[in-house]
Chains A and B, each alone.
Chain A
Amino acid sequence: MSSVSQVPNDAGRFGKFGGRYMPETLARALDELTDEYSKARQDEDFRETLAELYHQYVGRPSPLYHAERLSKQVGGAQIYLKREDLNHTGAHKINNTLGQALLTLRMGKPRVIAETGAGQHGVATATACARFGFECVIYMGEEDIRRQRPNVFSMKLLGAEVRPVTTGSRTLRDAVNEAFRDWMSSVDSTHYCLGSVVGPHPFPQIVRDFQSVIGRETREQSIEQLGRLPDLIVACVGGGSNAAGMFYPFIEDESVELMGVEAGGRSSNLGDHAAPLCFGEPGILHGSFSYVMQDEDGQTADVHSISAGLDYPGTGPEHSFWKDVGRVSYTQAQDAEVLEAFDRLAKTEGILPALESSHAVARAIDMAAKRTPDEIVVVCLSGRGDKDAAEIALLRGEEF
């Protein structure tokens, strides 16, 4: 195995990226989590329990579905969808929250906190907490509460407390800040269930590993259903957890091209998009060294995306590493293209993709169009789009 998959090292470094830039107050909890996770991953019982939950509770394996009508209409490569939208709670986020819930149980902590943008991670955390009997508090930006109402109500129904975040841009980044502030005071009794491959070590590794079930299944299903590996795999990237989970098991497969799609927003001007891998520079945000959108003083810049889940100025350190070593290519899709892709998948396949996942669909359609019908393009359909119906109606000026 090459060094590209042998990351992170003990200091949480993916090449030069990653690390642990967090207040000393959290050092002990991060060390404990690192230790507990390294014990858990060696523990047969832990692995079996998680596999059983994935199967019986989440409904895994999720299908690798041939989008035949879409493929025909595009007229290029065959497009396959990895249906993470069919998971319990409607997105890939549950893969991670169940894993972290089992770790919380092992650490004996009764309370769990989380941040959420689109609300999918919030719902998945609230679900895991209900399933295991943990007290649950979700931090969510006010702007995101507005645009993802259905998920807010679900979290409450699941017994979680949703705390609106009114600072800064009132989106995902501010929700992360508030969750860390809560954790600074509650660290002895509380686990912070971070929802993406971001933050201080060991989170980027833990979340990637739990999400890697996506890529492992896709790899097996490709071989079983298609007799070979895909030519290209496309996934959307905000923090980047579905993409990391999808890509990681393919990192050593040199024949498989990997493409991450960031939120291109309205334009490539600073403040109009949320695409740090395309337009940003390496810097520090939320505990790790990674590509980030910031000004020349190191202040985090405002970002924009049509999708709350990608509306984040940073990204995972492992994506930064993959970008710099050239293993994954990163591109972006703009809001208008995303809505068009959403529409197209809805009308040709009868599937409403999440706006986040629609970024990947948009670029996959373009890429497929340039390829021959014997080639295979897999899209990670990370979540379902029901949650976005109201926001799309609003954007179109229609009554919901």
Chain B
Amino acid sequence: MSAIDTLFQNLRSENRKAFMPFVTAGDPDLDFTAAVLRHLAERGSSMFELGIPYSDPVADGPVIQASFSRALDKKIRLEKIFDMVSTVTPDVSAPIVSMLSYSIVYRRGLENYVKAAKAAGIAGAIVPDLPADESGELAEICRREDFSLVQLITPTTTPDRARQIADQTTGFIYYVSVTGITGERTELPPEIVDNVSWLREQTELPICIGFGISRPEHIRMLSPVADGLIVGSAIVRRIAEANSKPRQEVLDDVGNYVTELLSAL
């Protein structure tokens, strides 16, 4: 069992849901990323999605794109991200899942990536540009290393395909709430609830919902059907303030925002 499996087992037995902030590694720098992870864990986050900056993220909206660009402009390296994570994981129990392009995984070497990430204390990977049809080799390595490989199911996924994807997923299923790219939405499509309820009948795996979630009313709408909720751009946007504002102020602001969302969970 990976750390993610254990987390959901515990949450389910307590009838609780996971709250999962997305944080870009290295914006404005890795020290601050480490501080954010610690602080948001103290505020009650159950798990983290750690975005590894990539030069050509086609599934990401302007906020996450810009955070990736800032980090890459400062020449952030994968090795340094692993180093940062390994300083955080000894005292942060919330599992950290890496989110990255297959370009990065492939370049590093599949097995090499999984082993290095695991050694740093990372519990799994979300690879949005590696659809289930292409993920066989990486999935096998992840299984062997007990490293979760989280796959995505979207509103455009056909039912047959959704079942196949669920079969190949470990850790949890990432249900994408909207047909589109990452970014805050004022309203979320109401059919998510039915779609996730349907998916629930197809698989035993935990289901986390992400994309567009940014308001307490979104959390209230989705938490009854989900095992966890992922909030990305709304958090990344607040963290980005640290590029110009005092860091403690930004930490408090992001922390208060997370507390507000958690109270709706």
Contact = CB atoms under 8 A, between A and B. Distances in A.
A binds B: yes
B179 A24 contact: no
Interface stretch (B126-134, B189-197, B240-248, B257-265): B126-134
Contact of B153 (A24, A167, A177, A287): A24
Given A24-B157, A25-B176, A184-B58, A297 B104 contact: yes
Contacts of B161: 27-28
A23 B152 contact: yes
A46 interface: no
Interface string A182-224: 0011011000000000000000000000000000000000000
Contacts of A284: 101-103, 106, 129
B53 to A, nearest CB: 8
A27 B55 CA distance: 22
B58 A181 contact: yes
Contacts of B65: 167
Contact of A297 (B69, B78, B132, B181): B78
Interface stretch (A14-22, A52-60, A77-85): A14-22
Contacts, number: 115
B77 interface: yes
| Binding site secondary structure of chain B | loop
Nearest to B76: A297
Contacts of A29: 156
A20 B180 contact: no
A379 B129 CA distance: 37
B158 interface: yes
Q: How large is the interface on B (under 10, 10 to 19, 20 to 34, 35 or more residues)?
A: 35 or more
Interface string A280-307: 0001111101000010111110000000
Contacts of A173: 56
B59 interface: yes
A168 B55 contact: yes
Interface in A1-53: 11, 19-29
Nearest to A174: B56
B84 interface: no
Interface of B: 54-61, 65, 69, 72, 77-78, 101-108, 128-134, 151-158, 161, 165, 176, 178-181
10 contacts: A11-B133, A20-B131, A22-B131, A23-B59, A25-B176, A177-B56, A184-B59, A185-B178, A284-B102, A284-B103
Given A20-B131, A22-B129, 4 more contacts: A23-B131, A24-B154, A286-B56, A300-B103
Interface of A: 11, 19-29, 167-168, 173, 177, 180-181, 184-185, 187-188, 283-287, 289, 294, 296-300
